[in-house]
């Protein structure tokens, strides 16, 4: 069964450093999402992406965050200058279409720890 | 505003029992709801969904009930197994947004004892 994959599985970084989290979507999926989950809390929407453009973003997704699909396969989330409060699990999700009732498939996540 | 919440943070059951996990939502405009299962160290896994024009939907060993009058959603798991132990999230999405933005609840941890 096709799966969304994410790398790395764990990332430890110093505050102020840049990190790039990578996601490989299911091959025929065109809609991409990033969510995060702070330890013990609920999953929160960050951004949705389609046709090389952000379609919607949350308040969390400030100027320190960016997304792109650099090579047509990977979908990346970049945090330019990490803060302690960016420590969380980051999940990529993908869907075949953007319809509100289209199932999103989640990757296993990247655990980011900012020291 | 948008908010999805759960009544119980932890539910402990015996293997073979039926489990019921509850969820309340506050956005009356929400018209699509999903239950996700999250095992330790993994991403959320789709279980079952329901549209607002339905009040019940059944899957394999799982049933979702939707009560729009009181804005309540429940997930019933029949004959609960140890492999069902996980955190269960309800999530909602509004039809009138151009793209999906899932709003997740806090989560309920289901513990199944053999």
The pLDDT value given to residue B7: 46
Q: Above 50 in pLDDT, residue B6?
A: no
Handedness of CA B97, A41, A96, A71 (dihedral sign): positive
Structure token pair of residue A9: 């599985």
Structural domain spans, chain A = 5-97+106-114
Cα–Cα distances in angstroms (integers) from residue A76 to residues A7, A55, A71, A91, B30, in the given order: 10, 15, 10, 11, 30
The answer to whether B49 contacts A103, with C-beta atoms less than 8 Å apart, is yes
The answer to whether A43 contacts B44, with C-beta atoms less than 8 Å apart, is yes
Q: What percent of chain B has pLDDT over 70?
A: 88
Find out whether A111 and A19 touch, Cβ atoms under 8 Å: no
Nearest CA in chain A to B40: A108
Residues on chain A touching B89 (C-beta within 8 angstroms): 42-43
The pLDDT value given to residue A37: 92
Q: Is B85 helix (H, G, I), strand (E, B) or coil?
A: coil
> What domains does chain B contain, in order, with CATH numbers?
4-95 (2.60.40.10)
The answer to whether A103 contacts B34, with C-beta atoms less than 8 Å apart, is yes
Structure token pair of residue B25: 């939502």
Q: What is the pLDDT of residues B55-102, one digit of tens each?
A: 999 999 999 999 999 999 999 999 999 999 999 999 988 655 566 788
> What residues in chain A have per-residue pLDDT under 70?
100
Choose among A4, A31, A109: nearest Cβ to B99.
Answer: A31
Which of A1, A43, A107 should one mutate to test binding to chain B, selecting the residue with the greatest count of B CBs within 10 A?
A: A43
Q: Above 50 in pLDDT, residue B23?
A: yes
The pLDDT value given to residue A100: 65
Cα–Cα distances in angstroms (integers) from residue B47 to residues A9, A107, B35, B61, in the given order: 24, 15, 6, 10
CATH code: domain A5-97+106-114 is 2.60.40.10
* Chain A with chain B: Cβ pairs closer than 8 A: 74
Average pLDDT value over all residues in chain B: 87
The pLDDT value given to residue A96: 87
Choose among A48, A99, A107: nearest Cβ to B43.
Answer: A107
The Cα–Cα gap between A25 and B76 comes to: 31
The pLDDT value given to residue A65: 97
Q: Above 70 in pLDDT, residue B8?
A: no
Choose among B42, B49, B98: nearest Cβ to A55.
Answer: B98
To the nearest whole Å, the CA of B104 is away from the closest chain A CA by 6
The pLDDT value given to residue A71: 81
Structure token pair of residue A38: 């702070």
What is the mean pLDDT of the segment spanning B42-56? Answer: 92
Q: Collect all residues from A whose CB is shorter than 8 A from any CB in B.
A: 4, 31, 33, 35, 41-45, 48, 50, 55-56, 58, 91, 93, 95, 98-109
The pLDDT value given to residue B4: 55
pLDDT band at residue B27 under the 50/70/90 scheme = confident
Find out whether A22 and A73 touch, Cβ atoms under 8 Å: no
The Cα–Cα gap between B25 and B17 comes to: 26
The pLDDT value given to residue A28: 87
């Amino acid at each position: 069964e096709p799966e969304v994959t994410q790398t790395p599985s764990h990332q430890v970084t110093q505050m102020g450093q840049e990190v790039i989290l990578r996601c490989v979507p299911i091959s025929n999926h065109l809609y991409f999402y990033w969510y995060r989950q702070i330890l013990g809390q609920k999953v929160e929407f960050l951004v949705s992406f389609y046709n090389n453009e952000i379609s919607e973003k949350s308040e969390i997704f400030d100027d320190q965050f960016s997304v792109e699909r650099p090579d047509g396969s990977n979908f990346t989330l970049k945090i330019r200058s990490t803060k302690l409060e960016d420590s969380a699990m980051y999940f990529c999700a993908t869907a075949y279409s953007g319809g509100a009732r289209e199932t999103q498939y989640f990757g296993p996540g990247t655990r980011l720890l900012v020291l | 505003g948008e908010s999805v919440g759960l009544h119980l943070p932890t539910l402990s059951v015996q293997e073979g029992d039926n489990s019921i996990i509850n969820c309340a939502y506050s956005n009356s405009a929400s018209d699509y709801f999903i239950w996700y299962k999250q095992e330790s160290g993994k991403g959320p896994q789709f279980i079952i969904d329901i549209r607002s024009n339905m009040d019940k939907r059944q899957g394999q060993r799982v049933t979702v009930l939707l009560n729009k009058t009181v804005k309540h959603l429940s997930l019933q798991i029949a004959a609960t197994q140890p492999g069902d132990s996980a955190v269960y999230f309800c999530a909602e999405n509004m039809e009138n947004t151009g793209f999906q933005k899932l709003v997740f609840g806090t989560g309920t941890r289901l513990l199944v004892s053999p």
